[in-house]
Amino acid sequence: MSAETTQLRESPSIHRLVLRLQEILCSCSKSIEGGDGSSVSELVDFLETVSGSALENPEDEVAQNNALEILSEIQTFLLSATLDQEVIDALSFELPKVASKFAGLSSRCLEIADGIIDHFIAKCSPRDMLSILCGALSATDRPIYSSGYVASILRGLSKVFISLQRRHFEQMKVAIPIILNVLKAACSELGDEDTEDLNLFHRAIGIADSIRAVCAKFEGRINEKFHALLGLYVLQVMALVSFSAGHKVSNCLPLVSQLSNFLPYCDLSYLGLITGSDVDAATNIIIEEVEDDFMSCLSYVKHGASLSVIWGYIYDDVAQAAGGDMSFVRGELQSNQTNRWQAVGMLKHILASTDVLWELKKHAINFLLCITNGNGTRNDGLTDCSIFLPSLCAASQAITKVIIYAPNTELRKNAYEALKRVLADTPTSERFDILTALLTTSDSSSMIAILLDLVRGELHMESLQRVSIKKDEAQQTKNQGSSMTSIWTTEVLKLVDIVLRPPEGGPPSFPEHGDAVLAALNLYRFILITESAGKTNFTEVLSKKNLQKAYNEWLLPLRTVVTGIMTENKNDYDQLAIDTVCALNPVELVLYRCIELVEEKLKHSS
């Protein structure tokens, strides 16, 4: 630390500070006019010492007052009518950044910092100021908790955008990634109750206003590019606003409404947003014009697109601002299976994100229940689902996370119902691909049990339908000629195999996999009994090969493990042993029943 820095921090005299600043400014002006700008660094060091002291000591009134007074003195100096343009140009490279470091101290400091940047924008080349402000925004020495710093520069950039005279799109496509990346970083520093986020996002919305103002100057292809750029920017900011909502969704409602106003201007409809088609269209326009890494700054645009619709689903005022008709959107999604699959894929961005509030996830689940409500949501087996399989699988995985981690019973229950409907809306072959993926990737025994019980429920439902159909031979003939596929296939046994013979080898371990094992045994027993009673073998569960496999690879190894654990804990009366025995009792009962059934079938198999 320099001697001057130490002196500033030990001496609170504002008079001495002002005098010292005036000396530095006088010396700086003379050296610049003389062709030597080296003294600017002395001015920067002085100002950063003052702002740094105030930032490090927010409760120190003297330090805060000193900072305000020094910043005011800088503004007074710059506004002097006698100040040479050469001096202004030289100072423009450093003072916008330095002044912005004061902006987070108070609303008054922010106001003065804004005024200083405005003065440079009015006096200097817009193109130079764009470069200077972008450099200041992306600087690595931003203050800790830099929302005020960022807010000040964002306002400056919004003014610079409008002042640009040519090559608007080329210059904006350089600035936008910097703005969004820094905005994302600044948002991550905000606390749950931080009121500075409102000002920060208002400044971010100011950037959108400026892009729209520039867009209005052009027609044709360049106008289309600006519309696409603005739309993607707004969706990214929409996501960041939603992530920064604190503990209350209503906190960011005014910001969401303002952002929603841009959607119709950018030709972004609720149906196009929730299906992703409008996002893809805007992205395709931009990709043709930008560098390969540009899209990394727009990593949340699909989050923003789906969140935009959910906000409209929650609040009529937001939907009105966006020019959206939620009744129309719901109707289209309920009646069009392809659109519905696309919407499910988009909703995964909300449900899978750890940044989205549970309140918003709750509404996303409710929306999902809404669009899958009705007879039209059962898959007809006629539409090719293969291209949607990855997104449907990811969405299903996201829903299982809600089922596991949701903070209340109602949300977990609704998420489970949503999962059932999504699976029911998927063709049989793809449904089993999804279930297999969920079972193999889940590390929750309880979740695996839920999935297997869901499969058992669907098998039972189809069995009842088959019995009913047999009473009507005409209907039976009709269904035999239908393209609908039965879920009673050999694929079901593969689901049992995933649990009872884990990929890592050996029987499943206890007690951590107890729920999954019990569900797998119950599913196997149900299939075995149902196929035997109906004298069918759709799943080939009754074939000698599969009976022997179940007996030798599933049931006997499992019996060895369960018997060993039960014997080990039988005469132990501590709480852990008692809990272990209680947990294994139902597993043991179902296991032995399965063994009995298989042994009986093997006796009569050819």
Cβ(109)–Cβ(103) below 8 Å: yes
Asked if residue 557 is part of any domain, the answer here is yes
Which residue's structure tokens are 């080939």?
A: 540
Lowest mean pLDDT among 110-119, 471-480, 507-516: 471-480
Cβ(516)–Cβ(499) below 8 Å: yes
Cβ(418)–Cβ(368) below 8 Å: yes
- How wide is the angle at C-alpha 40 spanned by C-alphas 39 and 42, nearest 5°? 65
Among candidate residues 508, 495, 514, 502, the one with its CA nearest the CA of residue 560: 508
| Cα–Cα distance for residue pair 529/527, rounded to 1 Å | 6
Cβ(229)–Cβ(289) below 8 Å: no
pLDDT (0 to 100) of residue 22: 92
Tens digits of residue pLDDT in 268-304: 999 999 999 999 999 999 988 887 788 899 999 999 9
Q: Which string of DSSP letters, residue by residue, matches 23-85? A: HHHHHHHHHHHTT--TTHHHHHHHHHHHHHHHHH-TT-HHHHHHHHHHHHHHHHHHT-TT--H
pLDDT (0 to 100) of residue 1: 46
> Above pLDDT 90, what percent of the chain?
63
Token output for 555: 């049931």
CB within 8 Å of 76: residues ≥ 6 apart: none
Phi, then psi, of 247 in degrees rounded to 5: -95, -5
pLDDT (0 to 100) of residue 605: 73
| Cα–Cα distance for residue pair 404/414, rounded to 1 Å | 12
Which residue's structure tokens are 């440079």?
A: 120
Tens digits of residue pLDDT in 529-565: 999 998 899 999 999 999 999 999 999 999 998 888 8
Asked if residue 454 is part of any domain, the answer here is yes
CB within 8 Å of 554: residues ≥ 6 apart: 496, 497, 500, 501, 524
Q: Which residue type, as a one-letter code, is found at position 68? A: L
Q: What is the CB neighbour count within 10 angstroms for residue 213?
A: 12
Asked if residue 450 is part of any domain, the answer here is yes
Which carries the bigger pLDDT value, residue 390 or residue 188? 390
- How wide is the angle at C-alpha 54 spanned by C-alphas 53 and 57, nearest 5°? 85
**In the predicted structure, residue 41 carries a pLDDT above the cut 80:** yes
**What does the radius of gyration of the chain's CA atoms come to, in whole angstroms?**
33
Burial of 476 (0-12, 13-18, 19+ CB in 10 A): middle
pLDDT (0 to 100) of residue 250: 79
Cβ(372)–Cβ(421) below 8 Å: yes
Asked if residue 124 is part of any domain, the answer here is no
DSSP 350: H
Token output for 47: 């100002």
Print the SS3 string covering 419-437: HHHHHHCCCHHHHHHHHHH
Reported as a pLDDT band with limits 50, 70 and 90, residue 117 is very high
pLDDT (0 to 100) of residue 303: 98
Asked if residue 465 is part of any domain, the answer here is yes
Asked if residue 520 is part of any domain, the answer here is yes
**In the predicted structure, residue 481 carries a pLDDT above the cut 50:** no
| Cα–Cα distance for residue pair 442/465, rounded to 1 Å | 31
Asked if residue 526 is part of any domain, the answer here is yes
Asked if residue 591 is part of any domain, the answer here is yes
pLDDT (0 to 100) of residue 478: 46
Treating both helix axes as pointing N-terminal to C-terminal, what angle do 40-56 and 61-78 enclose, rounded to 10 degrees?
Answer: 150
Token output for 528: 């075995």
Lowest mean pLDDT among 56-60, 242-246, 351-355, 487-491: 242-246
| Cα–Cα distance for residue pair 301/239, rounded to 1 Å | 7
CB within 8 Å of 213: residues ≥ 6 apart: 161, 162
Please state the domain count of the chain: 1
Q: Which string of DSSP letters, residue by residue, matches 220-252? A: HHHHHHHHHHHHHHHHHHHHHHHHT-TT-GGGG
Reported as a pLDDT band with limits 50, 70 and 90, residue 207 is very high
Residue 544: give the domain boundaries.
Answer: 444-469+488-605
Which carries the bigger pLDDT value, residue 136 or residue 7? 136
pLDDT (0 to 100) of residue 212: 95
Cβ(419)–Cβ(376) below 8 Å: no
CB within 8 Å of 217: residues ≥ 6 apart: 168
Burial of 292 (0-12, 13-18, 19+ CB in 10 A): exposed
Q: Which residue type, as a one-letter code, is found at position 448? A: I
